[in-house]
Amino acid sequence: MRTANTLTFSMLKNIQGLVTIVISLLLSTTAYATVIDFDDLDPVYQEEFPCWCDNPISDEYIDKGLLIHGSWVVGAKPHNSMLTSNWGGLEFVDELPTFLSMNVSSAYGDAVYLDFYGEQGFLRTIITSGWRNVEDEVTPPIPNEFISFTSDVGIKSVAIYSHWGMRVGAYIDNITFTTATVPESSSIALISLGLLGLLLRRFRN
């Protein structure tokens, strides 16, 4: 027969295990990465006067949680990309990504500015290579320059604009964002209650 001290120690040990499981559930996340390269779109141009402005893009990726503003899809399969006007934007709906990356090319060789925002406001500006009208800051533009940003608070939107504010600004491709999905609190509560019930049943036996 087990003594009271042995039973108490065993109970504490099992409760500690239960608490560990619950904390793990609370902290556990599953990351989902989404990649948008625009190659699934099929831009159609006017026969007589084809223009980069023939194929505006907006809610084509709303099912992936992304709205696009002030931009067009350009190119031809399988080498499409997104072209912004003098101002373009990305807006995330539903779950906000905590990581975002993309390839950026300047339409005119000047620097491209990317302002990142969370739900509470401005987070950070990233400036690509390219002309910024300051001699000691001149760097040759890098085609398809890789830009990435991480924010624990989530990224709500990105404003994209060029240094000169020309009619078109930047080519964007391979937009990749990662959303961390946390288990719902109701699911955690149900699992925790089930584990607690099993633990109490064990000690009654």
Cα–Cα distance measured from residue 22 to residue 17, given in angstroms and rounded to the nearest whole number: 9
Cα–Cα distance measured from residue 180 to residue 117, given in angstroms and rounded to the nearest whole number: 18
Assign 89 to helix, strand or coil: strand
Cα–Cα distance measured from residue 68 to residue 117, given in angstroms and rounded to the nearest whole number: 15
Q: Are 123 and 155 in contact (CB under 8 A)?
A: yes
Alpha helix (H) ranges present in the chain? 4-27, 185-204
pLDDT reported for residue 64: 96
Q: Are 2 and 10 in contact (CB under 8 A)?
A: yes
Cα–Cα distance measured from residue 23 to residue 27, given in angstroms and rounded to the nearest whole number: 6
Distance of CA 131 to the CA centre of its chain: 28
Tens of pLDDT along 72-97? Answer: 999 977 889 999 998 999 999 989 99
Tens of pLDDT along 157-204? Answer: 999 999 888 888 999 999 999 987 554 444 445 555 555 554 555 555
Tens of pLDDT along 8-22? Answer: 545 544 555 555 555
Q: Which of 96, 87, 55, 51 is nearest to 73 (CA)?
A: 55
Domains of the chain listed by start with CATH number: 30-181 (2.60.120.260)
- Is the torsion defined by CA of 119, 122, 125, 131 positive or negative? positive
Q: Which of 113, 89, 90, 129 is nearest to 162 (CA)?
A: 113
Whole-structure pTM value: 0.74
